[in-house]
Amino acid sequence: MNSNKKAMNSNKKAIIAAAAIMAVIASASMILGIQTQKSQHALAQTSNRTAASASGAITMLPMTKPVMVTPSQTTKKEFWINTVHFDGITSLHAAVANPLSAQNTPLHPAENPPANSTVPSGGGFRIVLPNKVGAWDFRSFTFAPDQIIVNQGDEVTLHFVGVQGVHHLITVDGVGTFPLNRGEIHTVSFIANSPGTITFLCSVHLPNMIGQILVLPKSA
């Protein structure tokens, strides 16, 4: 009888011990599973960021707190305006090295100058016909910048800088006309006493070498 009781007690203790061990194993497995999922998720995010960087895709960075900026309230505005031109350099031949062209190895198809040009007259646009190696280009003159914003009552100073183009004849509405050659700087000043637009242009390179000054009205 005592032997049976001892055996039953031993079995109960073994069952309880086994249950405790199983509970510990289950808990450890659950914790390990959660940690593994987190690790896999972090690894996937890192892998995605690496793949995005490798593919040239934009990676979103954490948002930073905006910086508070107090705009200047000065009524004296100064601008530097450059005379420039854009050049579309090309060739009669496709992807051929060209020592006489700024675009030394064009990787685009062969191009021919337009047979019937729709370019307006005035000097602002220019097509240079192919040279002995087949290079030709299309040029467009402009100002940089070509749009300026000021406020009514501002004292405005414009520095015109001759960067590209041999010669310009520039007019600023209401101010005057003056010549400008490459390497020269000509400065004009005026007070924008009323809202509206003030045009500046080069009469040698019309119709596209034109800029505007937008004068905003005073706030009420």
Average pLDDT over residues 12-21: 54
Distances (CA, A) of 165 to 161, 182, 219: 11, 6, 40
**pLDDT tens-digit readout, 193-208:** 999 999 999 999 999 9
CATH topology (fold) of 76-216:
Immunoglobulin-like (2.60.40)
Please give the share of the chain, as a percent, with pLDDT higher than 70: 67
**pTM here?**
0.66
Q: Please report, for the chain, the start and end positions of each structural domain, with discontinuous segments joined by +.
A: 1-61, 76-216
* Structure tokens given for 212: 């505007």
**pLDDT tens-digit readout, 80-110:** 999 999 998 888 888 666 666 555 555 678 8
Average pLDDT over residues 144-160: 97
**pLDDT tens-digit readout, 50-91:** 444 455 566 777 888 999 999 999 999 999 999 999 998 888
Using the predicted structure, report yes or no on whether residue 140 has a pLDDT greater than 60. Answer: yes
For the chain, the straight-line distance linking the first and the last C-alpha, in angstroms and rounded, comes to 108
Q: What confidence category does residue 31 fall into, taking pLDDT thresholds of 50, 70 and 90?
A: very low
Average pLDDT over residues 171-189: 98
Q: What confidence category does residue 167 fall into, taking pLDDT thresholds of 50, 70 and 90?
A: very high
Using the predicted structure, report yes or no on whether residue 34 has a pLDDT greater than 50. Answer: no
